[in-house]
Structure 1
Amino acid sequence: MLAGKRILLIIGGGIAAYKSLDLIRRLRERGATVVPVMTEAATQFVTPMAVTALAGEPVHRDLFDLGTEAEMGHIQLSRSADLLVVAPATAHLMARMAQGLADDLATTLLLATDTPVLAAPAMNVRMWEHPATQRNLAALVQDGVSFVGPNDGDMACGEYGPGRMAEPLEIVDAITARLADGPLKGKRVLVTSGPTHEPIDPVRYIANRSSGAQGTAIASALAALGADVVFVTGPADVPPPTGVSVVRVETAQQMHDAVHEALPCDAAVFAAAVADWKVDGAGDSKIKKVAGQLPTLSFTENPDILASVAQMDTGRPRLVVGFAAETDDVLANATAKHARKGCDWLLANDVRPETGIMGGGENAVHLVTGDGVEDWPRMAKAEVARKLAARMAEALA
């Protein structure tokens, strides 16, 4: 898959830069040519000599190299590659990318390119969760940058949480998916997945039993067909797929905002089990138990994410797919929801506890379209995902 591909690898200045050495080796094992670029900070963690030895190509570092820049070398570098990979993408480097800065060779290459970009973030968990980094992430996703990771794990600073750079083989898988010559190559697809958590107070929330397995499988299947997938996920039980841009959210309002920040796209699949209501005025302090007294909660509606996209006047995706998890009158309720929401397709399933579908490994769906209802047999969620992805590829061809 990677034989003959040319990867421009930009190594940022973080402790995870050591993983770039193994990444280079893995890519070359698969037949790819790796052209390395190092930021000045990256040279504090790995040596240019080691990178050159593994890549078999000289390291590019200097924007003002008289030899290469006489021929506009940064333009040639950025446009001669099949893919630009930033690993590690530090918080500082992501901020410069989001702002469109071009103050060294790495950022100039990223600004001068019309080639796809894949980034593997790596930073302290607090830096990753900081609103500024999340704003930069949303801006880069909007600009079409794909992401792999970060993963949860132990960090060099001694903390634990999201921020650990994806492992080299995960990045290789993401590169392979990004370069896949499938029927959805060049298509941008948005997928939502998982439950949402609606806070009652700082320690309690309202949620549902969705595991996120079906949405994750759909995102993976679409990526395997070459799509550029933006994956907006609530706090799911399963890890996100590789080869997609992951945006993590907690609440329905956050998911709504992330979805609209990720537009425009060619298609959108709304597989998330979004809470219909949230607590009106969630408390800033833990609600204390008082003997003989029960707390009273009042609710307000959450935004209708599916309808807000399906009924857009301008910029609507060509194909909008919704889901309906039902326990009674599945087809009647799903058909009514399909008409009410304004989506093109709607996949309905029976999630009564005895079916074992919600949280399980299988699904049995009914595809509702303007032409009627198509019943799919019970199958593994991965098979449902592949079948849906193939149908979407036909519709978008």
Structure 2
Amino acid sequence: MDEALLRSLTPAVIGILGGRGASFAAAEDAVQEALLEALRVWPAAPPRDPKAWLVTVAWRKLLDEVRAEASRRRREVRVDAEPAPGPATGTDDTLWLYFLCAHPSLSPTSAVALTLRAVGGLTTRQIARAYLVPEATMAQRICRAKRTVADVRFDRPGDLGTVLRVLYLVFNEGYSGDIDLEAEAIRLTRRLAAMTEDEEVAGLLALMLLHHARRPARTGPDGTLVALREQDRSSWDTAMIAEGVGVLQAALARDRLGEFQAQAAIAALHADAASVAETDWVQIVQWYDELVRLTASPVARLNRAVAVGEADGARAGLAALEGLDPALPRHTAVRAYLHEHDGDLAGAARLYAEAARLTPSLAEREHLTRQAARLRALERA
């Protein structure tokens, strides 16, 4: 059973049912039922045309639902003639689904869940496991999201930037449960890149590839976080880095810079360096300047301060922190890092301990606590 094939066909089948008059919610439910039927039937009797099979079965299930509960019908659905089995035709509406699932009326968590289900083809159970919540909770979340967009019509292109932010949210969830959300986000972004030549789509794909290439080195054997400067760079995926750099270069060549391209350029400079000492920090600062210009993001300014500290010294980095809200996530951790590199071990240890208390991430808390203990041990030595 090729589950990857099933997931790749899901958005196109939903789009075909939508084109025949089904509401998004009804089409999505019917396709999910067809997927379950495929998991049961295909191992013993694989179809010649998987897409046509899914369309036929999903359409039958949709018609059964309409006939059984006509009062739930939200609009006219053609029930007079069932399409004969055969090659599925029609336009692939996957791009429309990307826009629908990232609709501004949805909360970020709902947009992510709906994207994973309708575009990614994941089951509610898989999504719930990935987010470590009960299946019933995730089912309610997805149901509310579908009700929210039930009457949305797209008579003009949706906001591609919103779609990209949703995909980046998926990517940043990393890995949990039995679903690798980093890999899933890359798969979905690849599909989006195949449907549009937008530079920022390419920039996001490059950024994901460059970050994902470093994943084997991000944690130790015991699951503890490993800082970038301490990572074993020989374990980075050089083929994925090369792909990411190639995608980025092609996007940058079009000379329409956006925030994801700038972030990818920074990631590429890190990936290109054999060590922290050999990193081109001056150029990284310049890219952060571009990112701040594009986004005015305080997070970008915070990360820029770290790069300034590496390029021009810790005190310059501390000066770059001035004006930023101390309540900004990781602000205290960055101050600790810069104080350490300025030689203030006592101050840095105190700040690392404070940062550990502030972070909601258990893994980051353990990492920062270890940093504080390390510096205190150095002071006593």
Larger RCO: 1 or 2 (CA < 8 Å, sep 6+): 1
Greater Rg by CA: 2
More helix by share: 2
Considering the TM-score relative to the shorter chain, is it more than 0.5?
A: no
Q: TM-score, normalised by structure 2?
A: 0.30
What TM-score results when the alignment is normalised by the length of structure 1? 0.30
Higher strand proportion: 1
